A = this chain, B = another copy of it.
Amino acid sequence: MPRFFALGTNLLGGRAIIRGRDAEHIKVLRLRPGEEMTICDGKGTDYRCRLVRSDKDEAEAEIIEVVQCAAEPTVSVRVLCGLPKGDKTDYIIQKCVEAGAHEICFFRSERVVQRTEGVTKKLERWNRISEEAAKQSGRGIIPEVRWLDTYVGALDAAKQQEKTFFMYETGQREGLRAALKGAEKLGSAAIITGPEGGFEPYEADMARKVGMHVCAMGARILRCETAPVVALTALMYESGNLEAN
């Protein structure tokens, strides 16, 4: 069933009025009156609708059923990644949205080599990638993509969650399974991974000092764009969010 986020939609009184890009999309899909679609409010609620009329600028649909979107995980995960080079950001966004992230933040850290001037100009494109991935994977929200200009800002954003898992490639670390134990009961969590060169030892020390779980992910060296997806998948698995629906 076609799926839209109700960004330009008015969902009052049993009717949905769809305008803008989504109205055009309905036209392009050649949906006909009587056919069904799902409109999601972007806050986890799905509206099953039947199309009443549609033209290029506006479509109208009748709301048949209002349900909780089943695709949202029980744990809200903020994924924080040291800004990687080139278009690895796009890959991280797409895969983490599919895997169930609630929010994706890129941050500056000591070993970030990608230039960060003008990085905020990329936010619009990044958020569009998130929207596309959210639609395609049937998410109930569009995970926000943000930029954090300092490493301390990234630690702060992580610490706002119940538990933080800091992925580090050397030194004393917890095994991922030990760290994730009890994840079923978590309402929120953060995952932090580094840029191409990883973290400086002092950065890992800071994470340790503020009480984060410094974790290992096995003996294989993961690329900076693979690590967040693997860590997020492990968390989703342990928290019971990779089960039958």
- A residues contacting B by CB (< 8 A) are 70-71, 73, 95, 98-100, 136-139, 173-177, 216-223, 226, 229-230, 233-234, 236-238, 240-245
A139 contact set on B, CB distance < 8 A: 220
Minimum CB–CB distance for A62 against chain B, Å: 26
Does the CB pair B245–A137 fall under 8 Å? no
A177 CB contacts on chain B under 8 angstroms: 237, 240, 242-243
| A175 with B244: CB separation less than 8 A | yes
Tell me if B100 and A244 are in contact (CB < 8 A).
no
Chain B residues with Cβ below 8 Å from A233 are 229-230, 233-234, 237
26 A/B residue pairs, CB under 8 Å, sorted by A: A98-B220, A98-B221, A98-B223, A99-B222, A99-B226, A99-B230, A100-B218, A100-B220, A137-B222, A137-B223, A138-B219, A138-B220, A174-B244, A175-B243, A175-B244, A177-B240, A177-B243, A216-B243, A218-B236, A218-B242, A219-B245, A229-B233, A233-B233, A234-B234, A234-B242, A237-B238
The answer to whether A95 touches B136 (Cβ under 8 A) is no
Chain B residues closer than 8 Å to A218, beta-carbon distance: 71, 73, 100, 236, 241-243, 245
Min distance, Cβ A88 to any Cβ of chain B, angstroms: 12
- A-B residue pairs, 4 tightest by C-beta: A175-B243, A216-B244, A219-B245, A71-B219
B242 touches A217 (CB 8 A): yes
| Other-chain contact of A221, B73, B137, B216, B226 (Cβ < 8 Å) | B137
Contact pick for A223, options B136, B174, B222, CB 8 Å: B136
Q: Cβ of A241: which chain B residues have Cβ within 8 Å of it?
A: 218
Once the chains bind, are B220 and A137 in contact (CB under 8 Å)? Answer: yes
Q: Say how far A227's CB is from chain B's closest CB, in angstroms.
A: 9
Q: Are the C-beta atoms of B219 and A70 separated by less than 8 Å?
A: yes
Q: How far is the CB of A239 from chain B (nearest CB, A)?
A: 10
| Cβ–Cβ < 8 Å partners of A220 in chain B | 71, 98-100, 137-139
Contacts of A240 in B (CB 8 A): 177
Residues from chain B with Cβ under 8 Å of A95 in the complex: 226
Instruction: Tell whether A176 pairs with B137 under 8 Å between CB atoms, given A98-B220, A98-B223, A226-B95.
Output: no
Assembly CA distance A220 to B73 (angstroms):
9
CA A211 to CA B216, docked complex, whole Å: 35
